[in-house]
Amino acid sequence: MIIPNLRQLYCPVQPTVKRAGEKVVYAEFLPDPRLQPFIHCYWELKTLHPLAAPFCYKVVADGCIDIFFELDNSQNNFIMGFCKKHMEFTLDNTFHYIGIRFLPSVFPRLFKISAVELSNRTENLSDVVPSLSRYISSRFSPRCEKPIKSLLDDYFLPIIMKVDLLTDHRFDNAVNIILNQSDAVAIESDLDTGLSPRQLRRVFQFYIGDTAKTFSKVVRFQKVLSSMSIQRLSHSKACYEAGYYDQAHFIKDFKTLYGVTPTQAVDR
């Protein structure tokens, strides 16, 4: 059984691509309904026309693990773990990327791989889940006969049906508390679910990829992104609406996780 209502409690967002005008598009697609409690979305990032220069793509911290590959070079496929700050990728002037975004804690449940081994970096998928890497290499190309969504559903549905997804219920309770909390979580008092501090750190590193405190910070940031318009973020009272005690702390966290200050995000 997966964390109850995980999808209802947490909806990670990535900023839309604006700087390239109408030449670059980003879209998200829902997987099969049976996969939606586990996979947040499949996504696509592609150029519609060649760009004048390489493209810098920014990924904000979202607490998730992503698999991605370029459609016309699918033998090179990658996995990006939990990141405690924004990441930037320099892409060519033409590209067509496909991705799979797992909800927090799902990837380690499915593949029994510690999330902390992937944190804050990108690895070759062939070194992590060779069978999935081979599937992507053999089935995906610009000439795919089946829709991309169907090919991905075909791979993940049998895995969901046969894998034991159970974890320590005390970890599940701690995650639920973080996802339900609107303000900062006090780790020692709010997460008193029966796990010692050492156990709490160990299970969060395995299933999330970092500490409960860091995960809580990312969740809080993501709730700000999903609940406020980008214009509202630069308002002087936005920090208090987001549950921060002062504007300096809000701006510092936002810049670390997003890559720019709230005011700069509005202007982009």
Q: What is the pLDDT of residue 22?
A: 75
Tracing tokens 């070079």 back to the chain, one arrives at: 73
For residue 20, give every residue at least 6 positions away whose Cβ sits within 8 Å of its Cβ, in sequence order, or none: 47, 51, 55
Mean pLDDT of 79-95: 95
What's the CA angle centered on 244, arms 241 and 250, to 5 degrees? 100
CA distance 137 to 77: 8
Mean pLDDT of 132-160: 95
**With contact defined as beta carbons under 8 Å apart, do 171 and 207 qualify?**
yes
Element (H, E) at 256: helix 247-258
Q: What is the pLDDT of residue 27?
A: 93
Binning pLDDT at 50, 70 and 90, where does residue 248 land?
confident
Q: Which one, of 129, 116, 137, 134, lies nearest residue 203 by Cα?
A: 116
Q: What is the pLDDT of residue 199?
A: 92
Flag whether pLDDT at 3 surpasses 60.
Answer: no
Binning pLDDT at 50, 70 and 90, where does residue 227 land?
confident
Flag whether pLDDT at 30 surpasses 60.
Answer: yes
Q: What is the pLDDT of residue 33?
A: 94
141-151 pLDDT, tens per residue?
998 889 999 99
Q: What is the pLDDT of residue 188?
A: 65
Q: Encoding tokens for residue 114?
A: 């510690």
Q: What is the pLDDT of residue 244?
A: 76
- Mean pLDDT, all residues of the chain: 88
- Is 169-267 CATH 1.10.10.60? yes
Flag whether pLDDT at 19 surpasses 60.
Answer: no
DSSP helix/strand/coil, 205? helix
Task: Show the DSSP H helices in 73-211 as ranges.
Answer: 106-111, 130-139, 148-162, 169-180, 187-190, 197-207
Binning pLDDT at 50, 70 and 90, where does residue 236 land?
low
Binning pLDDT at 50, 70 and 90, where does residue 229 land?
low
Flag whether pLDDT at 90 surpasses 90.
Answer: yes
Mean pLDDT of 214-227: 88
- Of the chain, the end-to-end C-alpha distance in Å amounts to 41
Mean pLDDT of 148-177: 90
Q: Which one, of 118, 137, 141, 114, lies nearest residue 126 by Cα?
A: 137
Buried b (16+ CB within 10 A) or exposed e, 64-90: bbbbbbbbeebeebbbbbbbbebeebe
Mean pLDDT of 108-129: 96
Domain positions in the chain = 6-162, 169-267
